Amino acid sequence: MLLEDQRFLHEDLERLEQGISDRVTEDHKHIRDKLNRDHQVAGFLTRIQEQSERLLDIYNDTEGLRSKEIQNISTGDPFDEFYKQLGEIKDFHRRYPNEPVENLERAYKRKAPGEGESATAEVDNLFTGEEAYGRFLDLTMLHEDYLNLNNIKRLSYLQYLQTFDQFGPPHMSLKRAEKRSSEEYFRYVTRLAEYLENFLHRTKPLQDLDKVFASIGDDFTKAWEADKVPEWGPENQAAGPTGPVTEGTGEGIWCADCAKEFKNDNVYKAHLTGKKHIKNAEARTGSSATSNGTTTNGASSNKNLSQIQRLKERVIAEREYRIHRLASTLENVRTDTRVNVERRQGMTERERQMELEAFFAEQDTVPTGGGEKGEDSDSDGDEKIYNPLKLPLAWDGKPIPYWLYKLHGLGVEFPCEVCGNFVYMGRRAFDKHFNEARHIYGLKCLGITNTALFREITGIQDALKLWDKIQRDKRVESTKGDGVVQMEDAEGNVMPEKVYWDLQKQGLL
């Protein structure tokens, strides 16, 4: 049966290659479809490697079974061997009558929507809602782990996104803290490094990430042996029993006797004359002298402890180095994450939920590629725009963002009776329509000619009442103007009689 297994493996490899070829030619618009395609291709490549190894083992024939089977077919009666294998097949199916038969033609064929499972079933559960299928990072849980550490500066989530790969002060003092804090810090950096690696595996399944991670480990080993790892070089180690330690960035001075950091040089010098520092320095000097007077076994024990401590420091330094390199690889995603967090902070919970639902529902209307058109697509290949919130369209023909829709108040309706009960969406459109032809034409139909005086008037009755009042005021003024007595001074200036007598009384004429 080895020859049949060999034939089956060759057919399986050809089907896998055809499945990869069919998916590579697809042009997807949605990020979820692209990730689903890449993960399927990555799975096919892994299976090709496994099947190729099995096929190579058969060709190598280390146990000689393949040669024996070929010899039995070629030297003996071929029908005897045929009926023997046929009997084995019938016996197998008699013992396992419900055993399904694997159909290689359908096994790697791309499933169309509605064939029992989701077209993107492979990636639906890989990402959280905050990650949006690999567009953003989700470091909320790691941010909480960071805030639970001892001796650290409290940072907001936005600040943490900016600085999570920076391991200078105050982290250096944290590394030299008590054993419990060091273990907590080690667990934190380990989880952060694992998350970044896992995020890369999920978003870039076709890249040879194992080779990238191995190169990071090799680079760290070389830098560690040369004492060139940032924040872990010789300048960051203790200088002696009484000597201070200056942090790698030069921002503070470390007192090894008191295990305390000072930001100012003058404060540190004043601290050296204090009773507490002198007492700690004497105690440390005494313990050092005692350790120097111990036996050889005691010195060996201290040396072993020092080596163990150095190994712990190397493990922590390796995690920090790896995080820094991975964060630089994901710099664009990191920037997009900060922008997205700032944007979402200005939204209500209902708006965030609606935006998330719109993002997930967008998949249903985006073409899946491969040159096929949906049932509702037009003959010219135009894409159907998914707009469940009825948002206005931007210059590119796509709906504007929901936050911009709320910012301009486009959800507020302003009806105008003068314009034939036309409804304007948003205050800006409402203010502009008073100078537009529709509103001016409506006023002229009511017999109103001076349209500049009717701004903010939308009701027909209000407009008619205002126009009647304006007309009455004009008639009153014209009546008063007809009974005015005109006077002329010596220079020929004509003026009303009242004004003439007032100027004369004042001696201005």
Higher-pLDDT residue of 161 and 379 is 161
Q: In what order do the strands lie in the sheet with 253-255?
A: 244-246, 253-255, 260-262
DSSP 191: H
| pLDDT of 262 above 50 | yes
Taking the CB of residue 324, how many other CB atoms lie within 10 A of it? 16
Q: What are phi and psi of 347, to 5 degrees?
A: -115, 155
Residues 137, 203: Cα–Cα separation, whole Å: 11
482 pLDDT band, cuts 50/70/90, is: low
* Closest residue by Cα to residue 312 from 182, 209, 498, 141: 182
Mean pLDDT of 265-287: 76
| pLDDT of 176 above 70 | no
Higher-pLDDT residue of 284 and 213 is 213
DSSP 168: S
Mean pLDDT of 10-25: 85
> Would you state the pLDDT for residue 80?
79
Taking the CB of residue 70, how many other CB atoms lie within 10 A of it? 13
Mean pLDDT of 216-220: 89
> Would you state the pLDDT for residue 173?
46
Mean pLDDT of the chain: 77
The Cβ-side half-sphere exposure at 84, using a 13 Å CA radius, reads: 10
Q: Helix, strand, coil proportions of the chain in percent (round to 5)?
A: 60, 5, 35
Mean pLDDT of 290-303: 54
381 pLDDT band, cuts 50/70/90, is: very low
| pLDDT of 178 above 70 | no
> Would you state the pLDDT for residue 342?
83
Mean pLDDT of 196-200: 91
| pLDDT of 388 above 80 | no
Residues 340, 259: Cα–Cα separation, whole Å: 40
Instruction: Report, in angstroms and rounded to the nearest whole number, the Rg of the chain calculated over CA atoms.
Output: 42
Q: How far is CA 406 from CA 177, 351, 354, 363, 424, in A?
A: 49, 9, 13, 24, 15
Q: Which range among 34-38, 168-172, 324-328 shows the weakest confidence by mean pLDDT?
A: 168-172
Residue 88 CA from chain centroid, whole number: 57
| pLDDT of 192 above 90 | yes
Q: How many helices (H) and strands (E) does the chain have?
A: 20, 7
Q: Which range among 50-59, 111-120, 257-266, 480-489 shows the weakest confidence by mean pLDDT?
A: 111-120
Q: Which two tokens stand for residue 21?
A: 């070829």
Map 460-504 to HEC letters.
HHHHHHHHHHHHHHHHHHHHHHHCCCEEECCCCCEEEHHHHHHHH
Mean pLDDT of 425-432: 87
